[in-house]
Structure 1
Amino acid sequence: MPTAILAGPKLRYPERGRATALTNVHARNDKGLASDAEAVAATARQTRTVTPRNSRQASLSLAAVSFAVGTDGFVTAGLLPLVSKSLDVSVASAGQMVTLYALAYAIAAPVMAALIASWPRRLVLLVGLCTFVAANLATAAAPTLAWLLVSRAAAGTAGSLATPTAMAAASELVPPERRGRALAIVVGGLSFATALGSPLGLLIAAAGHWRTTLFFVAALGVAAAIGVARTIPASRPSSPAPSMKARLIVVRDLRVLRVLITSFAAFTGYYVVYTYIAVVLQPAAGNREAVLTALLVMYGVSGLVGNHLAGQAVDRWGPHRVGLIALLVSGGNMAILSWTRTSLPAAAVAMTIWGLSAWSMPVVQSHRLVTINPATAPLLTGLNSSIVYLAVSSAACAGGAALTWSGPSILPILAAACVALAVASVAGAYRSPVDSPASTVRFTP
């Protein structure tokens, strides 16, 4: 396959680019505007080769973006007792920093995607990351609860700019047949945040202060911004920004709604358990924080493996089939977690299976949305991110009520019921003539 060249907003191939350059050269010479050498040099300056090597470097930079934002989102819940003590507020009041972060992300993601759809991806990422760094520095310096909450809302808004744009950029930097693997690398940043970023942040807080953890998160944002500035092309999106009417039509698309319903049901189920994971795994881990941390690291590492395998599987078999298998496995695992959580070896196996299957879904869902309409990829991935964060909020409320009503053993059953709804949604899309694999172009590497 010929190497792609990114010239301005369009993706071209060298053979066509050389022919176009020569045509332009002769035209310029006929008009006496430039020599052949000057025209070729001008063409070279305006183009940038996107090879497998630098496209992978760009994907890794985008993964660093999702790692920074993911660490910020995952580590906060573990800091609540320390924040409560430091600011002399209740844990419930400190917990509003998680709520406001999620709500700000959920509300801002689709709005910002619509407003900045025509902006260069690199610019959007850098603006988002700079805001992200400033917001986390403000959180680290927060003297009062009000300051803390405002800064967390700002961080959520910044995250809503960065992560969906990273997904969209990853899908544009590679040929369509490698899109799943590129998305898997970016999603891998999120699962790596679970496996390493969050535990490391908690260790930093334990060794020093919770504010030090926020400085650490800000440093991750700076590193991600440097990577983006060095590896992401400065060109505008390869597809023109859709009109508002086109955006509304996309939102009403039945295929899009099915993807969003699947995301909401699946991630509500996952976070019903994850939000209260310390309580759910208490019979296996006891009061040993090291054991609980080890189980969470196991979950995160298996998530890294799961999303990597999902990227390859999606490229080969399509997102519907891979998503259905992942949901069936994770739902079955949740259904028996009420029993496996009582034994440490069984809990370790359950957390591994959960990570492998659950972290396949972000790749699957992103691929489905990008395939439906590449021109509105930022809008669609932003909507999906909003739905996921709404699911996190819903899971916290539903899980808290169920915990009070019946105890921790009911949470895995509730999670399995939610995942079953997601299975029904994907199965319906698989059979539907307007959203079946047959209606979507699939590629084999």
Structure 2
Amino acid sequence: MTGTTPHTGPEAAPKTTPEATPNVVRSVLLLALGAFALGLDAYVMAGLLPSVATDLKVSESTAGQMVTVFTLCYALAAPLFATVLAGRPARLALGLALVVFTAANALSALATTLPVLLLARALAGIGAGVYSPIAAATAAGMAGPERRGRSLAIVMGGMSVGTVVGVPVGVLLAEHVGWRGTLWLVTALGLLALAGVTTMLPGAEATPPPPLRERIRVLGDRRVAPVAVVSLLGGIASLGLYTYLASFLADAARVGDPVGYLWAWGIGGVLGSLLVGPLVDRTGKAFTVVAGILSVLVAAHLMLPAVAPYTWALVVPLALWGAAGWALQVPQQHQLIDARPDHAPVAVSVNSSAVYLGSAAGSALGGLLMAAGLPASRLPYCTAAVALLALLLHLTVVRSRGRRGPAAAERGQPAQR
């Protein structure tokens, strides 16, 4: 639902010369292939949830915890392994991450019990969480300042394409060869990326993401914490429902094949992620943009049960929800950079961790509610309430903290933290 803005720090590779450009493009595309596999793996399990639950003879709410452990480990992997990876060659760090990711997906495809599947999904989340920020930082460093934005867009675009194109294709594939076949596809993509990274990526030092203690220190800033909490709540609302989207469609709209609806959500997400950046740049009002996005998210979730009897109309709230979910983090990152320009990479990485922790909490809470007897058709009301809480927090606490910081700076005093 959201890309990760990397902690680039020092250059991850020597500056690019014109003659080296083709090699850089090839390397960035290899990194994007790995990101594509990550994006597919992170989101496709939601579409496969009914099949997995049936095959393993567990409830869908229980099977949904495979999404919880993946996103939780994704959120924690980067900061926990940051110190270990410091100073290591990027090729080695990325190769190890892809080995873990690929092996874990193979184990997922072979799993015959839920505990084994949960362990495999946790390992896949660790591999993905280590790979993503280092791949982005490596791409930025190889490209040099003049091509950094384009290279980052290619790598992070690989993840969004993996979600928008890969997820529906993965669900379609599962209809013919089963959910395990889709995971074997992810495994094959991971192997391709691993072969490319280990044989063709130039030698460069990996720039690890900020360690956990540094993130916690910045999170203590009173201007940072409320923004991070809004991102956390946004993650809970968005992935908390997406994990059980197939269950919602089956219960509320009697839809057995979710592929078309996954396309609607994903296309909305791409449009939202592409349009929000220019909107923030043009208006310069990240706070207002966040308020509008959260309002759209609340409205979209409330619309889902209302239009469910008219299945053709579901594409509208799904597209709006996808657009809002993917767009939210760009203005959130702007607000965090404004709050802590002296620690901008760390502040943005805090936001990334908050999103993925929220995603883990959302899928876990959604499963608990369904296990307690809540019909999947009612789940959007719960996630709309969480999104509304995020909006209220944004309009009150975030607004007041944002005003207090600049006011203190104008008086020559340190901003309140």
Is residue 110 of structure 2 the alignment partner of residue 141 of structure 1?
yes
**Residue 302 (structure 2) aligned to one of 335, 358, 361:** 335
**Residue 71 (structure 2) aligned to one of 64, 85, 102:** 102
Provide closer, same or farther for how the CA distance between residues 193 and 243 of structure 1 changes in structure 2, counting only shifts above 3 A.
Answer: closer
Over the matched positions of the two proteins, sequence identity in percent amounts to 36
Map 1:155-194 → 2, pairs under 5 A: 155-169=124-138, 175=145, 179=149, 185-194=154-163
Q: Which residue of 1 aligns with 2:291?
A: 324
How much does 1:419 deviate?
A: 1.7
Find the aligned partners of 1:370 and 1:171 in 2 and give their Cα distance.
Answer: 19
Residue segments in structure 1 that go unaligned for 5+ positions in a row? 1-7, 13-45, 440-445
Is residue 218 of structure 2 the alignment partner of residue 250 of structure 1?
yes
How much does 1:162 deviate?
A: 1.5
One-letter amino acid matched to 2:261: L
* CA contact 1:71–1:193 (8 Å) conserved in 2: yes
Q: Which residue of 2 aligns with 1:296?
A: 262
SS of 2:255's partner is coil
Provide closer, same or farther for how the CA distance between residues 367 and 165 of structure 1 changes in structure 2, counting only shifts above 3 A.
Answer: farther
- Measured against aligned partners, the alpha-carbon deviations of 1:180-220 in whole angstroms (never above 9, x if no partner) come to x7665544434323322122222222222433222210122
Larger radius of gyration: 1
Is residue 320 of structure 2 the alignment partner of residue 353 of structure 1?
yes
How much does 1:277 deviate?
A: 2.0
Provide closer, same or farther for how the CA distance between residues 429 and 107 of structure 1 changes in structure 2, counting only shifts above 3 A.
Answer: same
Provide closer, same or farther for how the CA distance between residues 113 and 385 of structure 1 changes in structure 2, counting only shifts above 3 A.
Answer: farther
Aligned residues: 393
Q: Which residue of 2 aligns with 1:269?
A: 237
- Measured against aligned partners, the alpha-carbon deviations of 1:299-318 in whole angstroms (never above 9, x if no partner) come to 11121122122233344445
Find the aligned partners of 1:244 and 1:231 in 2 and give their Cα distance.
Answer: 28
- Measured against aligned partners, the alpha-carbon deviations of 1:372-392 in whole angstroms (never above 9, x if no partner) come to 468673x65554444333323
How much does 1:353 deviate?
A: 1.6
* CA contact 1:101–1:155 (8 Å) conserved in 2: yes
* Range that drifts further, 169-178 or 410-419: 169-178
Q: Which residue of 2 aligns with 1:390?
A: 357
* CA contact 1:122–1:232 (8 Å) conserved in 2: yes
Q: Which residue of 2 aligns with 1:217?
A: 186
Find the aligned partners of 2:349 and 2:391 in 1 and give their Cα distance.
Answer: 22
How much does 1:335 deviate?
A: 3.2
**Residue 74 (structure 1) aligned to one of 28, 37, 43:** 43
**Residue 260 (structure 1) aligned to one of 228, 232, 246:** 228
* CA contact 1:188–1:308 (8 Å) conserved in 2: no
Q: Which residue of 2 aligns with 1:286?
A: 254
How much does 1:97 deviate?
A: 3.2
Q: Report the TM-score, using the length of structure 1 for normalisation.
A: 0.72
Bigger relative contact order (CA 8 A; separation at least 6) = 2
* Range that drifts further, 364-373 or 251-260: 364-373
Find the aligned partners of 1:335 and 1:144 in 2 and give their Cα distance.
Answer: 36
Find the aligned partners of 2:388 and 2:313 in 1 and give their Cα distance.
Answer: 22
C-alpha RMSD of matched pairs (Å): 4.1
**Residue 234 (structure 1) aligned to one of 185, 201, 204:** 204
* CA contact 1:271–1:396 (8 Å) conserved in 2: yes
